[in-house]
Amino acid sequence: MTLQGKRVLITGASGDLGRAMAYRFLELGADLALQYRSNAAALEPVLEAAKEAGREAVAVAADLARPDGSEVLAAAVREHWAELDGLVNNAGGARAQAFDEIPPDAWEQALRLNLTAPFRLTQLFLPALKACAGSVVNISSVAALTGGAFGPSYAASKAGLIGLTRSAARDLGPHGVRVNALAPGPVESAMTSSLAGPVLDSIIGTTALRRLVDAREIADAAAFLIAAGTAVTGQTLIVDGGRHFS
């Protein structure tokens, strides 16, 4: 598997999963645009690794939870590249809240970040993706299929992302653009470590492998979906240690 010379944008690149994908894509020869909201320091080692590998990497600040965040990001990336081989819609999250405690603004923010931003970014980069028969990977979650500890707004928006993936794959397939989703979970990360011990133990206990997924395992799966030479599109690849069997 190779990503040699591929130009890939990863959103949410400063998080655990985003950085794991960035490092793996660099190993496979990709050039990277890395979106972050505020934690620029987290990407400094990634940028240094790219420099050492002789690859191009640029960090771009944009808040994808804001209504204009996708446009800000797209404009910045277009300054570097006219074409795009891969778009990984990885930025996401939501506060873990009970159903009857979620205020309307928190619900709307989760939808903007987890669902609207991937939709808008795919729209905005569509000409660049068409130009080189690119690939879109939407990072959903196994919570989209099972509900989960992070609450209804997270699960619902991630489920919507799977629906968006299927629809986009049908619409964009004639242009040579593939669109797939990854449903990780539970991944060893800052997000899962924020859960109470008994909650996390219960989640691990219901996985077939009795362990958390390593972020590098998600990175490998994303690289496979980005790489050229596959007819896989419109699919949701579950990488969760055997928590959910479809």
Residue 180 CB-density burial (10 A; 0-12 exposed, 13-18 middle, 19+ buried): buried
Q: What H or E segment, with its residue span, contains residue 224?
A: helix 215-226
Determine the Cα–Cα distance for residues 116 and 18; give it in Å rounded to an integer: 19
Q: What is the mean pLDDT of residues 180-205?
A: 76
Backbone torsions φ then ψ of 236, nearest 5 degrees: -120, 110
Count of structural domains within the chain: 1
Tokens 């990503």 locate to 3
Tokens 């449903």 locate to 183
pLDDT digits (tens, 9 = 90+) for 66-113: 999 999 999 999 999 999 999 999 999 878 888 899 999 999 999 999
CATH number of the domain at 102, please.
3.40.50.720
pLDDT digits (tens, 9 = 90+) for 19-71: 999 999 999 999 999 999 999 999 999 999 999 999 999 999 999 999 999 99
Determine the Cα–Cα distance for residues 202 and 206; give it in Å rounded to an integer: 7
Q: What is the mean pLDDT of residues 184-200?
A: 71
The catalytic residues are 154
The beta-strand segments (E) located in the chain are 7-10, 31-36, 57-61, 86-89, 135-139, 178-184, 236-239
Q: With a cut of 70, say whether residue 149 has pLDDT above it.
A: no
Q: For helices 215-226 and 16-27, give the axis angle rounded to 10 degrees.
A: 50
CB contact at 8 A, 139 and 236: no
> Is 2 a domain residue?
no
pLDDT digits (tens, 9 = 90+) for 116-143: 999 999 999 999 999 999 999 999 999 8
> Is 210 a domain residue?
yes
Q: What's the CA dihedral at 153, 207, 189, 22 to 10 degrees? A: -100
Determine the Cα–Cα distance for residues 17 and 216; give it in Å rounded to an integer: 8
Task: Supply the pTM of this predicted model.
Answer: 0.93
Q: What H or E segment, with its residue span, contains residue 143?
A: helix 143-146
> Is 156 a domain residue?
yes
Q: Roughly how many angstroms between the first and final C-alpha of the chain, as a whole number?
A: 27
Q: Which two tokens stand for residue 212?
A: 């958390």
Residue 224's domain spans which residues?
Answer: 7-239
